[in-house]
Structure 1
Amino acid sequence: RDVTSRVLLPANRRGQAALVAGGRGVVCGLEYAARAFRLADPSCRISILSRDGMWVSPGRKVLEVRGRLARLLSAERTALNFLGHLSGVATLTRRYVRAVRHTGAKILDTRKTIPGLRYAQKYAVLCGGGLNHRPDLSSMAMVKDNHLEAIRGDKERLLTLKSRLPRGTRLVVEAKNSEELDLALSSRADIVLLDNMTPGRLKAAVRKIIRSGAKGSGRPEIEVSGRIKLSAARAIARSGVDRISVGALTHSARALDFSMDIERVGP
């Protein structure tokens, strides 16, 4: 319970408040904010004045809510936390998407999400113009470095993995060096994930994968990951990759500033 609002304000005092942007960015999470107010005051009335995915500037009013003020104040921080965080994820995603436009590369999120908020964060990535990677371990087979370490000396298990997967399951195989790249290509992976490679090694790996498709069997998609900074995204995209997965979209996005302003107070 919000002891401050409960003791300070008459229980039935009504009023109106607005959520207002304090920074520039992509708004996301309006329904989450509205839900916080409805849980606190089921009788409140809400007007959503923007839509998720829109660019907003300081001073832009994105939501109005009318109801019992003590209840609205108790939900204020929860509503702002959802709105600010998800808008921050959407805004950072939009910046990456803009950095790689006209290159053919797509920006994707990862599973490096805040516990309990994965689907909300992945929704925010979509609002920012990015794409979602697998949401869970059952959605796609993804062989990473620890898997390769665990089957060291038994490469046949990887080479036959594709044929043993459930029908329609896509296979991603990670590669950090030339040896692992050869193994990934031999596995008939749908996607080869080039992880933490230097620019020179990345370009060489991309050329090798593209050449592998010249034999008529088609090439796997090329994905790059590993601490991809915004400043480096365009150069990586122009190397010929198809996908850039960025963990920072969900684990390091800076919240977009919003505030709640009381606009009207009733009796």
Structure 2
Amino acid sequence: MIEPFRPVLSPLMIEDIVKAALLEDLGRAGDITTYATIGPEKTAKAALNSREDGVIAGIELARAAFRLVDPAVVFTALVSDGDRVAPGTPLIRVEGPARSILSAERVALNFLMHLSGIATYTARFATEIAHTRARVTCTRKTLPGLRAVEKYAVRLGGGSNHRFGLDDAILIKDNHIAVSGGVDRAIHAARAYAGHLVKIEVEVDNLDQMREALAARPDAILLDNMGPELLREAVEINRAHGGLAETDYAAAVGRVALEASGNVNIHTIRAIAETGVDYISTSKITMAAPTLDIGLDVEID
């Protein structure tokens, strides 16, 4: 199996996201606490240290925060995004005008702590199912304006990305089915509309709907809120529909991918993965991830 390259973020995207965060924090008058207590001639050295185990994400956003506040701040990354670190690990060193370092500190830490928290939590989910072929994948349940960087952090933690928005893949959900007139009709209408490179997935609530979907040959079927027993049965139905033996099912090309969703958390994901599904989607890895504890410590001479 080919090991995937680490994901990357567009520098243009980073610039816009970080600039918006700095404008929100600095407001109209800037960091008045720092301006009032520290002279412009003061310089400082500081380290951003991890205070717990985790997977790091957001180094370049932190770099942009210090650079946009003051290009004179010297920023040295000591680790890379995707690295696993232990408590006490220094991640970044900054040196330069003290006012600038303190004014950029919170925004830099917010991005680092939030994205590293997502990467770390995703890694826990991925570890739970590492013995299966299933992959944990994120959803569109992300913070407005931060979807791209949150999905980036998911990949750093060993997860995979679902669609990024409403415009890059077709996911026919229960309401689409109800309004359009049924599973079969919705899938055929989607295929008639979509370009040949657009994937089509359909959500089903029961095995009868799944059988109807299989006949229409979508690219993927989302099995919504099914327990492990129903999921196992769905895997068997999918295998039989493709005429596949159990030994060649995992490597079969052109079969319908199965995605499980609903009631997925760190305690249930192992049992779900062991049913044989391909993907397990959950909003927990983005919406419920605790932040990773990272602090900025000024070095005092």
TM-score by length of 1: 0.94
* Uncovered stretches (5+) of structure 1, i.e. residues with no partner: none
Cα distance in 2, alignment partners of residues 217 and 185 from structure 1: 15
Name the structure, 1 or 2, with higher relative contact order (CA <8 Å, separation 6+). 1
Q: Is the 8 A contact 1:88 1:255 kept in 2?
A: yes
Correspondence 1:6-17 to 2 at 5 A: 6-17=35-46
What letter is aligned with 2:191? K
Cα distance in 1, alignment partners of residues 273 and 184 from structure 2: 31
Q: Is the 8 A contact 1:159 1:186 kept in 2?
A: no
1:104 pairs with 2:133: yes
Task: Tell me the CA shift for residue 186 of structure 1.
Answer: 2.3
What letter is aligned with 1:143? I
What letter is aligned with 1:166? G
Aligned pair count reads 265
Cα distance in 2, alignment partners of residues 231 and 153 from structure 1: 34
Correspondence 1:91-130 to 2 at 5 A: 91-130=120-159
* Uncovered stretches (5+) of structure 2, i.e. residues with no partner: 1-29, 245-251
The secondary structure found in structure 2 opposite 1:224 is: strand
Q: What is the match of residue 236 of structure 1?
A: 272
The secondary structure found in structure 2 opposite 1:214 is: coil
Percent identity between matched residues is: 40
Cα distance in 1, alignment partners of residues 51 and 183 from structure 2: 56
What letter is aligned with 1:230? I
Task: Tell me the CA shift for residue 199 of structure 1.
Answer: 2.1
Q: What is the match of residue 165 of structure 1?
A: 194
Q: Is the 8 A contact 1:212 1:218 kept in 2?
A: no
Correspondence 1:134-173 to 2 at 5 A: 134-152=163-181, 155-173=184-202
Cα distance in 1, alignment partners of residues 136 and 183 from structure 2: 34
Correspondence 1:37-52 to 2 at 5 A: 37-52=66-81
Please give the root-mean-square deviation of Cα atoms over the aligned residues, in Å: 1.8
Give deviations 1:15-53, integer Å, cap 9, x for gaps: 111100011111111111111111111211011001111
1:251 corresponds to which of 287, 290, 297: 287
The answer to which of 231-240 and 16-25 deviates more is: 231-240
The answer to which of 231-240 and 151-160 deviates more is: 151-160
Q: Is the 8 A contact 2:56 2:116 kept in 1?
A: yes
1:80 corresponds to which of 84, 104, 109: 109
Task: Tell me the CA shift for residue 187 of structure 1.
Answer: 2.2
The secondary structure found in structure 1 opposite 2:94 is: strand
Give deviations 1:70-123, integer Å, cap 9, x for gaps: 111111111111000000000011111111112111111111110010010011
Task: Tell me the CA shift for residue 217 of structure 1.
Answer: 9.6
Cα distance in 1, alignment partners of residues 270 and 183 from structure 2: 38
Give deviations 1:180-236, integer Å, cap 9, x for gaps: 212321221110110111222222222111211117995301111113111221221
TM-score by length of 2: 0.84
Cα distance in 2, alignment partners of residues 192 and 230 from structure 1: 23
